[in-house]
Amino acid sequence: MENELKRLLNRPVKIGGKVIDKRLILAPMARIGNLAFRELVSSFGGCGLLFTEMTGARSIPSAKGHGPSGFRWNPRELPRLVCQIFGNEPDIMARAARHVEEEGFFGLDINFGCSAATVCKKNLGAAILKDPPLAERIVSTVRKAISIPLFVKFRAGWQKDTSIAVELAGRFEQAGADALTFHPRIAPDMRTRPARWEYIGEVKSAVSIPLFGNGDVFDAGACLRMINQTGCDGVALGRLAASRPWVFAEWTDDFKPEKGVYRESSLRMAELLSKYFEQTVALRRFRLFSAYFAANFRFGHTLRSKILKACSMDEVREVLEVFFEKDPDILSPPNIALFG
């Protein structure tokens, strides 16, 4: 199985006018896909594409330079970094997209997948899927504004009817999307029900552009099954990547994680967050990361609880050092009940 998965994931795939050499990518995520986390993932290697955290199109500056926390990067990332934006005004989205292209990103991702209530109540993210013509118009307007690869991440809509997702995928391809990332849950389900992988197969059959499957891939066997069962062109890892940032290197290269990787990675993440963000932001980001990372351990809820009580990044590091002194039992796969 290991060799077969590696073979499938290491096939190049063309996206727009560019090519990536691996079909295992970081899923577009809000807050988790920050600069520090991406650097941690990159330190292991093996990831075909990275995505920034979700950034509002209106907050992307119209002049050169980094703006809000989601719109931050290292220049060395740009050849394989996709900027993830959201919004509901085609012209504003296009303006932001032009700025993204000017900065030198590999590509741009439009987020129609976020189903958080705070986002959807503003008619953003997955809420736009209720208005397919608007969603298509956004993609079309952005496509006309840029020449770099254009990605669209979307859910299966708001009703249990696969024809809706199939129609949306067709609209996005016709509007000029170069690749799709599809999460096969309807928005109201959030993560309360299993991902419907059969939806991925139906959507893939309806389009000719690359489609990356996303949802409930928590081990190598599941990754292989998703590819074989759905015919998707690649896999976008979200929660598992947040739990085990080395998973890309493990599945596509020859990286063999040893037990010490857990301690080293958590401390490195704390270091990177402190490097790139001021303390209060770094602490919030690490608390979010800990929801996924703690899922690796038996009694991980205890680690998570202590991190949530920490009042500084120094206290976070102390909690981690004490936790790893006791050689914690590692779970495989992670305890997804702890995932955020």
Positions marked active-site: 114
d(CA 220, CA 233): 16
Contact 101, 146 (CB under 8 A): yes
Contact 267, 42 (CB under 8 A): no
As a dihedral over the C-alpha atoms of residue 299, residue 333, residue 269, residue 181, rounded to 10 degrees, the angle is -140
As to burial, measured by CB atoms within 10 angstroms (0-12 exposed, 13-18 middle, 19+ buried), residue 133 is exposed
Cα distances (angstroms) measured from residue 77 to each of 104, 180, 294, 309: 10, 21, 27, 33
Cα distances (angstroms) measured from residue 321 to each of 36, 144, 145, 295, 338: 20, 51, 49, 17, 21
What long-range pairs does 67-73 form, CB within 8 A, spacing at least 24? 69/34, 69/277, 69/281, 70/31, 70/34, 72/34, 72/35, 72/276, 73/35, 73/38, 73/103, 73/105
